[in-house]
Amino acid sequence: ASAKVDIAFTTGQEEFIQLSVYDMLGRNVKHVMSNTMASGRHTFEWDLTDQSGNRVISGIYFVRYNASGHTETSKIVVR
């Protein structure tokens, strides 16, 4: 199994995007990126580490995508 997860999202216009990973208790595990992105489809790689660089334990995590006040959350299962 690869030690990474690809996080894909699509923007309809150029906007400021924030991606963060949270655990089941809602704690921020890692801030993946904050950047202004052009419109289109984008993919970011999460290396399954926390903010300190430690490998996260197996379990369910949530990726929160925030763009111009619009938020989406998706689930990731780490084995």
Measured over the CA atoms of residue 44, residue 24, residue 67 and residue 34, the dihedral's sign is negative
Amino acid, res. 54:
N
pTM (2 decimals)? Answer: 0.86
> What local confidence, expressed as pLDDT, does residue 60 receive?
97
12 dihedral zone (left: phi>0; alpha: psi -120 to 50; beta): alpha
Residue by residue, pLDDT tens for the chain (79 residues) are 458 999 998 888 999 999 999 999 999 999 999 999 999 999 989 999 999 999 999 999 999 999 988 899 999 999 9
Tally Cβ neighbours within 10 Å of residue 11.
19
